[in-house]
Amino acid sequence: MSTTYLIKNASVLGGDPQDLLLRDGIIAEAGALGPVPGTVVIDAGGLIALPGLVDLHTHLREPGREDAETVDTGTQAAALGGFTAVHAMANTDPVADTAGVVEQVWRLGREAGHCDVFPIGAVTVGLAGERLAELGAMADSAARVRVFSDDGKCVSDANLMRRALEYVKAFDGVIAQHAQEPRLTEGAQMNEGELSGVLGLTGWPAVAEEAIIARDILLAAHTKSRLHVCHVSTAGSVELIRWAKSKGYPVTAEVTPHHLILTEDLVRSYDPIYKVNPPLRTAADVEALRAGLADGTIDAVATDHAPHPQEDKDCEWAAAAMGMLGLETALSVVQRTMVDSGLMSWADVADRMSVRPAAIGQVDDLHGRPLAVGEPANLVLVDPNAKRTVDRTGLASLSQNTPYQGMELPGAVVATFLRGTATVLDGKLA
């Protein structure tokens, strides 16, 4: 028999304290509950209860780069970050472009058991951008793939993008686009602007992102099929998505935690820890991204957790790999930039980090549910008053490429529950 938990005095979505009884995988009772025999009692006074977080954009690196991350270590990091579900990106080796590979990742996730793993399927064979992968076979597989992406690369061929959008309509899938016009970003190393000139690094213009987003919005409107825009990083992109939504087009978007807090000024250090795709942008972009997330133009925060071994970052800027860790710090960064700044409530955080990502990924029968009686007991308890200094050597991820090393961040995940089973207790893996 699984453990029954009685959570006392949790502030659900930041509201009045209440008790939650987790039994047999669901929230069995809620309200002001008396003692329940045979339960483990958790004093959640001062803690916020949120639905388990859902990440639309995680790189778990398995199969192929188990030196950077495995499904097991990556999902440990996810649970410690308050996540009960992650969508695993397809740019593995081999690429997740067949039913066989997505089922392998899905099975590894189930075996690890730290959170649900929903594989993302590649849009094109081998991410080569030349012909469509077996989207239908992946959708029909045991992994039930609904999100497709060539992330890391852009589906730059307009006709392929159109056909992919048309294809996934059959099973209400979504194409998650990494918006990067390849010809406009050849050799690009950082955001294009005054600073790239000063530093002598090849610029990565905002228009390279915005041109693809504009095109894809029109294709989504034309095909009446769902487009999701990965890691939006510029003010202009936010404006385009705001326009698409005003027209009622089926377009959603995500922003990463790092694009909500870090700016291109960090590149002055030439420290490759800050090298990421899309690049860190300007303070004005950061402000527009925060505003877009707050007003709902941007639907979701997605980590783009991108582990890299030390040797791929301990080198000169031009040679270094692009990407940053994100799972174990995402909620803290969102608390600092969005909640502590007064831009969003904890209910908004639940919406942008659980409810809407679950809906976009078509897993909202299991995740992003209300914390109410009869619902799956997928939830996280957060101490908003805790402070911690990020120590890259103390992370569960196999890699250490966090951009927040030594930084003090607010908030701490105290406990995470997946279908009523604790994956994290007292801030440690259960």
Nearest approach, Cβ of residue 89 and Zn ion (Å): 8
Is the preceding peptide bond at 17 cis, omega within 30 degrees of 0? Answer: no
Which of 3-11, 96-104, 150-158, 184-192 is the region at the interface with Zn ion (rule: CB under 5 A)?
150-158
The contact pattern for Zn ion, residues 180-219, with x = CB under 5 A and - = no contact, is ----------------------------------------
Which of 47-55, 157-165, 171-179, 353-361 is the region at the interface with Zn ion (rule: CB under 5 A)?
171-179
Nearest approach, Cβ of residue 306 and Zn ion (Å): 8
Which of 39-47, 63-71, 194-202, 225-233 is the region at the interface with Zn ion (rule: CB under 5 A)?
225-233
Q: Tell me which of 304, 348, 351, 383 is the catalytic residue.
A: 304
Does position 258 bind Zn ion by CB under 5 A? Answer: no
* Interaction residues for Zn ion, span 229-248 (CB under 5 A): 230
Nearest approach, Cβ of residue 300 and Zn ion (Å): 14
> Closer CB to Zn ion, residue 97 or residue 348?
97
Does position 151 bind Zn ion by CB under 5 A? Answer: yes
Residue from 180, 285, 179, 277 nearest 228 by CA: 179
Which of 38-46, 228-236, 307-315, 331-339 is the region at the interface with Zn ion (rule: CB under 5 A)?
228-236
> Closer CB to Zn ion, residue 23 or residue 305?
305
Does position 87 bind Zn ion by CB under 5 A? Answer: no
Nearest approach, Cβ of residue 341 and Zn ion (Å): 26
Quickly list DSSP for 271-321.
-GGG--SSPP--HHHHHHHHHHHHTTSS-EE---B----GGGTSS-GGGSP
Which of 58-66, 172-180, 266-274, 351-359 is the region at the interface with Zn ion (rule: CB under 5 A)?
172-180
Nearest approach, Cβ of residue 59 and Zn ion (Å): 9
Exposure string (b/e) for 147-164, b if CB count within 10 Å is 16 or more?
bbbbbbbbbbeeebbbbb
Residue nearest to Zn ion (CB): 178
Does position 226 bind Zn ion by CB under 5 A? Answer: no
CA 202, 318, 396, 62 torsion: positive or negative? Answer: positive
Q: For this structure, is 304 an active site residue?
A: yes
Does position 228 bind Zn ion by CB under 5 A? Answer: no
> Closer CB to Zn ion, residue 31 or residue 187?
187
> Closer CB to Zn ion, residue 28 or residue 280?
280
> Closer CB to Zn ion, residue 151 or residue 216?
151
Residue from 51, 3, 9, 50 nearest 31 by CA: 9
Structure-block tokens of residue 183: 């010809």
- 114, 163, 178, 367: residue in contact with Zn ion (rule CB under 5 A): 178
User: What is the SS3 assignment for 419?
Assistant: coil
Type of residue at 346: W
Which of 128-136, 144-152, 153-161, 291-299 is the region at the interface with Zn ion (rule: CB under 5 A)?
144-152
User: What is the SS3 assignment for 144?
Assistant: coil
* Residue 326 near residue 307, CB atoms below 8 Å: no
Nearest approach, Cβ of residue 146 and Zn ion (Å): 18
Measured in degrees and rounded to the nearest 5, phi and psi for residue 412 equal: -150, 140
Does position 275 bind Zn ion by CB under 5 A? Answer: no
Beta-sheet strand order (sheet of 116-119): 53-58, 83-88, 116-119
Does position 59 bind Zn ion by CB under 5 A? Answer: no
Structure-block tokens of residue 61: 């690196």
Site residue total, Zn ion (CB under 5 A) = 3
Residue from 202, 203, 152 nearest 179 by CA: 152
d(CA 82, CA 85): 9
Per DSSP, which regions of 46-189 are E strands? Answer: 48-51, 53-58, 83-88, 116-119, 147-148, 174-177
> Closer CB to Zn ion, residue 275 or residue 369?
275
Exposure string (b/e) for 90-129, b if CB count within 10 Å is 16 or more?
bbbeebbbbbebbbbbbebbeebebbbbbbbbbbbeebeb
d(CA 307, CA 286): 23
> Closer CB to Zn ion, residue 182 or residue 197?
182
Residue from 208, 177, 211, 216 nearest 191 by CA: 208
> Closer CB to Zn ion, residue 20 or residue 133?
133
Q: Which residues are catalytic?
A: 304
* Contact residues: Zn ion, CB under 5 A: 151, 178, 230
